[in-house]
Structure formats: C-alpha cells, structure tokens
Structure 1
Amino acid sequence: MFAAEYEPAETTGRRRSPRAPVSFDVRVGDGGLRRTLCKIVDISIDGARMQTHSALRVGSSIWLTLPLAGTLSADVMWADDFTAGCRFNKPLRPDIFKQLLVL
C-alpha cells in the first residue's frame, strides 16, 4: 500500500481577461496587399477568436479593422484550419469593448 500527500496546483488560466461571445464581421490583413473578411466569435479586451476564410500562421502579425475600434495590430497565438486566436498588441479601451458586445 502506498500513501502520499499533495496540494493541487493553483491554475489561473492562460487568458489575461475573460472573453465574451460575439458575432460580427471584420477585415483582416497581413500588412501587405492580402486582405480578407473574417468573423469574430469571441472577444476580450486583450484578444479575440475568429473564423477565417484563409488559414493564418501562428506567430504572424495581422491587422484587424474592428467596428468602433478602427484598425489595430494583433499577433496570431494559435490557429487550427480556419479558426484562430489573436492577442491585440494594445488592449481595447473598456468603453469600446462594452459597445462591441452589443453589435
């Protein structure tokens, strides 16, 4: 027989801030000539998850044109086929974030 004591690890999660479900179309570009539409499906002050029409590469920098917020830069943190998560290089203003939740 064997006995051991342990303490569970505290988990804080990988998210900097909570995400909220949304559904609105935005333009995404790579800083060059390539631009396409995508749909934001959840968003936080620090980032978003999107469905795209073309695959994005992890580690790439993109430009998103969001309603109310304008064009902002983001880094692709993960990607799986035509879904990707990005982290904004500058957090959204809280008032803009709240307005995006009701679009």
Structure 2
Amino acid sequence: MPVSADTNFTVSPATPAKEARRADRSDVRARARLREAGRKPFDVELFDISTTGFCFFAFSPPQVGTRLWVNLPGLEMRESIVRRVDGTSCGCEFSSPLHPSVTEHLAKQLR
C-alpha cells in the first residue's frame, strides 16, 4: 500500500520504565526466601522494594508468570507473580500491595 509524502504523524518517545512504574522503589540489600508451589524454598538477594512489588537476583530465576510466595522480615508469606526476568534479575508484583508505611519500614530495615 503506497504512503503519501504529505502524511503527517507524530512519534512519541517511549516512556522510560522507571517513569512508568506505579510506585516508587527503594533500594535495599537483603536476603529473602521465596517458594514456588510444590517446590522447596530458595534464597535470593533483594535489591529493591515498593508497595506493589520487589526485585531480586537469583542464580536460577523462575519464569515470567510464575506465582511465588516471599518471606519478608516481620511479615507473613506474601503472594507475588514474576513479571520480568532479565538474566539473573527478576521483578515481581505483589498480589495485594503493601501498605506504604510497611514498605517504608522494610526499606529502612533492609538497607
């Protein structure tokens, strides 16, 4: 299909991932324990947390869409879903968001 030379269109720059986030993330350095249904728990290194999710490093990362339960200090196991995997870096979304004051407390505790 031929394109007219006088066709006008605008290309919007892509929104950087950090700007597109639903919640501010806090840098942390902590170990956490994750568990997938029917499997043994495994330890990971958390590197950020927010009200809506967290990111971690794992030597053998789970697949996108995997449902996990994370054990964060002082909280019961929290259900989450793997939303992003990039090498050994993984991003998860909590099934139900954390309260902002809980997230703030965890961020301070896990630095």
The TM-score with structure 2 as length reference comes to 0.78
Which string of whole-angstrom CA distances, capped at 9 and with x for unpartnered residues, describes residues 15-64 of structure 1? Answer: 11111101111100102132100011011100111011322101111110
Partner residue, 1:75: 81
- Aligned residues: CA RMSD: 2.6
4+ aligned runs moved over 4 Å, structure 1? 4-12
Distance 1:53 1:93, change over 3 A: same
Partner residue, 1:45: 51
Partner residue, 1:93: 99
Partner residue, 1:19: 25
Supply the AA of the counterpart residue of 2:103.
F
The TM-score with structure 1 as length reference comes to 0.84
Instruction: Tell me how many residue pairs correspond in the alignment.
Output: 103
Q: Which one has a larger percent helix, Structure 1 or Structure 2?
A: 2
Q: Which one has a larger percent strand, Structure 1 or Structure 2?
A: 1
Could you tell me the percent identity over the aligned residues? 26
